[in-house]
Structures are given as C-alpha cells and as structure tokens.
Structure 1
C-alpha cells in the first residue's frame, strides 16, 4: 500500500454494481466482506476494495476522516 491509496479511498467511487457512484470509503462492511469471501475483482479496484475491507474490519474508518476533509477542501 502506498499513502496515496488512502486518499483514493475517499475520492474514488465504486464503478459498478449495487453501490455504483458511492465513495469506496462509504461502502458498507457487509458488501466489503462479501468481496472478501467471494473474491475481490482483478486490478486496481480490487486492491482498493481489499484495503477498504481491511480498514473497515479492523475498525479503522475514523482514520480516513482527516483525508476526507483534505480531499473536500477547494484548491
């Protein structure tokens, strides 16, 4: 994992499926756990979903809050 991955979780949206358009950081835990059981998609999105599942599973979502504020701040 690189530090930029954490920023991507609060800026990138789910590209398909039931939660299309929702920020990766806002995906529900049960959805992330489903991917963990069934298999994460290949490529970048799968890697980010796996990271988000690990963060959610370990109760670390609050650590993303400062990044949310940074990402939403206008340039």
Structure 2
C-alpha cells in the first residue's frame, strides 16, 4: 500500500455531507458501509473512502492510529 495514501487518510477531510470536515480516518464505520452499498465516489475521495472501509473491515485501524500519531509528531 502506498504510504502517501495512508497519510492522506489521516490528513484529508470529508468535503461534504453529514461528516463534512471530519478526517477520512475518523469517519464512522456505518458511513463507510453506506458508501460501499451506494458506490464510492470517483477520484481520490472514492479511493480514500474505499481504503478506509477495507482497513476497518479487516480490523487494521491500529495502523492508521500509528500513522496519525507519527504524522502529528512531525
């Protein structure tokens, strides 16, 4: 997985909707599941949302927490 993609997950914010301005990595699981059922948007946002969905689905959120911690420290 591209490290730049993971950094995007902890630095980029949701641009619209109920969770506007929330970091992609902090979106609730039910919201990502909803996008999965409706279809992820095109472009980078869709890639970020789908990646975050897969991370949560596979129980890998501890990796995102570590990246978030490292990124904030730098």
Smaller-chain TM-score bracket? over 0.9
> Which of the two has greater helix per residue?
2
What is the CA–CA distance in structure 2 between the aligned matches of 1:66 and 1:56, rounded to whole Å? 14
Gaps of 5+ in 1: none
Coordinate RMSD, CA, aligned: 1.0
Question: How many angstroms apart in 2 are the aligned matches of 1:66 and 1:54?
Answer: 17
* Aligned-partner SS, 2:11: coil
Structure 1 segments of 4+ aligned residues over 2 angstroms from their partners: none
Give the equivalent residue in structure 1 for 2:23.
23
Counterparts of 1:42 and 1:8, CA distance in 2:
16
Show structure 2 runs of 5+ residues with no match. Answer: none
Q: CA deviation at 1:69?
A: 1.3
| C-alpha distance in structure 1 between counterparts of 2:20 and 2:31, whole Å | 12
How far has the Cα of 1:67 moved from its partner? 0.9
3-state DSSP class of the match of 2:12? coil
What TM-score do the two structures reach when normalised by structure 1?
0.92
1:9 counterpart SS class? helix
